[in-house]
A and B are shown apart, each in its own frame.
Chain A
Amino acid sequence: MVKYFCCAGLLKNTWDQVCVAYWQRYPNPYSNHVLTEDIVFREVTPTNCLISRRLLTKTSRAPRWMERYLPKHMASSAYIIEDSIVDPQKRTMTTLTWNISHARLMSVEERCEYRINPENGSWTEIKREAWISSNVYGLSRAIQEFGLARFKTSVTKTMKGFEYVLAKMQALGYDKPVPVTGGHLCEDTSQLKWWVDHKRPELGSGACSSLPAHVTLSILYLCIISVFTRDLREEWPSVALSAIK
């Protein structure tokens, strides 16, 4: 059984600007969980599309109260692949993101399409779909619900990260790439971050709303119980854990 989710997003920037920002969105104040980012494949096709594969490492820390129940050898980070196709003729970008570690426990696949907004040629619309599945016997439904709740939270962070980088690009002048800084947060983040958090509250609401609190707590309770089952001692859905810290 697979949990399917779909939502739409809007960025009030041109498709070109969004594509440029896409490659420069790490690091940003909303991406502290992203540890490394690498392009591991890239090519321009005969039809002049850019195809790329990006490898990301993200944190998978458990909350402190759970850490003592988990095996010592549990991997502390998760690997994610992000494939993309940029078509400058059609003005579309399609991305597919999925985890290649801990996948047996929970698999999250996300597909996005970035297109020019048909009502405003200066804006970009994003169609986002996700498929969440788990093969853990007896707990797959609970894990999938949990994964879905966590995914919705991550969509908010993604959009805020985009807004932040686009604002930074605008401040520099769009024709200049955002300076590649150190491995940590960009300089001068506080004012821009305040703007994204306070002036664009709609980025945290709308089509991608969270599960009610009592549902989230029920799923948490089920996950606590599952720590004592053998299946989950072997592995843990790193993407789920990072949501409940």
Chain B
Amino acid sequence: MNSVGEACTDLKREYDQCFNRWFAEKFLKGDRSGDPCTETFRRYQRCVQKAIKEKDIPVDGVDFMGPNKDKPES
């Protein structure tokens, strides 16, 4: 899958491979020994956050799970 920043796709795939392995083999099994993907995530984030700013994508300032507060069921 491509990244929104064309130059970030390789960094994204490198991070995804690391994350998917850690998620399945460590995180879900309750292993809290630490995240081996910190560095590769940092490199990927530097690239993608720059791309988001350049494309003016309004991601900032949006609360986590924000829109779901006080939702009516009708």
Contacts and interface: CB of A to CB of B under 8 A. Distances in A.
B1 A53 contact: no
A100 B58 contact: yes
Contact of B1 (A26, A111, A129, A131): A26
Interface residues of B toward A: which range? Answer: 35 or more
A67 interface: no
Interface string B15-30: 1110111011101111
B61 to A, nearest CB: 10
Interface residues of A, number: 47
Given A81-B59, A177-B24, A36 B71 contact: no
B4 interface: yes
Contacts of A50: 23, 27
B24 A175 contact: yes
A57 interface: yes
B12 A38 contact: yes
A51 B63 CA distance: 13
Main SS of the interface on chain A?
Answer: strand
Nearest to B60: A40
B72 to A, nearest CB: 6
Contact of A38 (B21, B28, B48): B48
Interface of B: 1-5, 8-9, 12-13, 15-17, 19-21, 23-25, 27-30, 32, 35, 41, 44-45, 48-49, 52, 57-59, 62, 64-68, 71-74
16 contacts: A19-B23, A20-B28, A23-B19, A37-B2, A38-B4, A42-B41, A50-B23, A50-B27, A53-B59, A53-B64, A88-B28, A100-B57, A109-B68, A177-B17, A180-B16, A180-B17
Interface of A: 2, 4, 6, 16, 19-20, 23-24, 26-27, 34-42, 44, 48, 50-51, 53, 55, 57, 79, 81, 83, 85-86, 88-89, 94, 96, 98, 100-101, 109, 111, 129, 131, 175, 177-178, 180, 183
